[in-house]
Structures are given as structure tokens and as C-alpha cells.
Amino acid sequence: MIQHERSCGRPRSLRGAAGVFRLAGLALLSLPVLLVPVLLGQSGAQAGEPAAPAPARSLPPLQVTIDLADVDLAQGELTLRMSRPAARVTLKALSLSGEVLAEAEQHFDATPAGSALVVHWSPPEQAVARIEVYGYDVNDYFKGVAITPWSFEIPHEDVVFETDSADIRASEASKLQASLALIQKQLPRARQLGTITLFIVAHTDTVASAEYNQELSTRRAQALARWFRGHGLKLPIAYSGMGERALKVKTADEVDEPKNRRADYMLGLEPPRFKSSGATPSWTKI
């Protein structure tokens, strides 16, 4: 990973294009810097003036880390950590087209390295595709991190399967054709973000055992994934069965609830999270 640090002004005063390096779901920005001479080993301050910041070579590498689980777009909140005492953090939330939807700057009073730094912004109405975060240490050195929490849930009419079956009947194919058209329409708008995956999750109601429903939902999710692949969809596809672990309508056991028999089709760079149920899908790629 390449990183550049420099004691300088705000990121918007920089010139040049930023490179992007991806690691564990985060895009680490290699930030462009102004070519300003830096005196190493002496401050250059006159008698009675404050000392200049310590040279970069005497400091540990500046790291800014964000776990996607600590990003809440609905509430406009994320948590990050820095490897040096923190002075401030700036943030920009961008749309899919690159429009700035929200900005924030939060100051920290030399908060110790490794502490949880919570940053808030006003959640915009438009979907956030990218968030750029710059963390500044107490010497005004900075590091930038970009995350891409973008996802798109495909609105669709659910395929109706026969009891105990994962076969897609010919009468249901038109529903999938409509979903395929929506996916292909959305893809060109998001490809600049990175590698987009279609995630397919199938669910059941609570009739029958949890083990049986888990197996049935997995077979149905696989059938849907294979249909999209067989009809020309070239992007990565991952599927998972959730059985009755993420009910849309909470019910008792052995309740026939049509709203719980459903599938989700989602485009994204990262696997979707089911925060309400806490369930974690196990993904299979095709």
C-alpha cells in the first residue's frame, strides 16, 4: 500500500488525480501532495516562536481504518480509528454521479491513537455511493480513506415455486426477465465504483422445520442465480438461503405467511447485511 503524508491545508487545495488502492473492502486513497520542501531535523522557528511539527520520519505511519459494520447511512454516522492522536476529521458523502450530498468536519482534542472517533453528518435523501474521509493528526498530517457502501435493491415480483420445489416454471420466467432488464439498466451507472456483484437471498415462512426451510431456500436461491447466469448476466453472482432466519413478518412457528416466502436481488460491492435479524448469510458464488 502506498501512502503520502504532508503537513498542508485541506484536501481541496491539492492538485492532481488521486490513485485508489483497495484492501478488505476499503479504497485507500493515495493522496496527491503539494511539492513543498520539508526541513527534516530542524524546525526553522525563531526564538520564542512555537516549534514546527515533528518530521514525518520520526512518527509512526499514519493509518485511518473504518469497518463497514460501523457505517450507518440512515443515521449519518460512522466510526473510525487513527494510529496517531487525532485533531480533526473531514468527510464528504457523494452520489453515484459524484455529486457532493453532505459534508462534515469534526474536531477532536488530541484523542489518543486507537480510540473510536464518531463522525456525524446530515443524511441526504439521495443514495450515498461513496464516502471520503480524511483524518488529521495533531501535527496536521493526514490520511484519506474512501469507502463505497453503495447498493441497489432490485424491485421485482417474486417467483412462485410449487411446494417442496426449486424448479422455475415457464409461467414465472417473465418476472425474472423484468428483473434482468432492471439489473442491466443499473449496471452502467455503477461500474466506476468497482466490481459489482448480484446477491440473491431466498427466504421461507415458518411452516416445516428450520432445517428443512434452510435447505429449501438454498436450492431456490441457487435456481434463481443459475437462471440469471443462463440468460446472459456476466457479472459475479452470489446466492444464499436464509430459511426462516430473517422473517419479513414476525410469526409463530408453523404459520403460512406469503410475505415471508420471498427473494431479494441486490447489487453491491459488499455482501448485504441483515441488521434487523442479525443473521449472516453464507454465500456461494457461481
| Residues 107-164: tens digit of each pLDDT | 999 999 999 999 999 999 999 999 999 999 999 999 999 999 889 999 999 999 998 8
pLDDT at 58: 73
pLDDT at 6: 37
pLDDT at 280: 80
pLDDT at 144: 96
Closest C-alpha among 171, 127, 192 to residue 153: 127
For residue 249, count CB atoms less than 10 angstroms from its CB and return exposed for 0-12, middle for 13-18, buried for 19 or more. exposed
Torsions phi, psi of 193, nearest 5? -75, -25
Q: Is the full-model pTM beyond 0.75?
A: no
Of how many residues is the chain composed?
A: 286
Residue numbers in the chain where pLDDT is lower than 70: 1-57, 275-278
Quote the CA–CA distance of 159 and 170 in Å, as a whole number: 11
Q: How does strand 237-243 pair with strand 197-203? A: parallel
Note the Cα 179 to chain centre separation in Å.
23
According to DSSP, residue 192 is labeled: G
pLDDT at 68: 85
The residue written with cell numbers 503520502 in the block is 4
3-class state of residue 50 by DSSP: coil
Give 239's strand partners.
200, 284
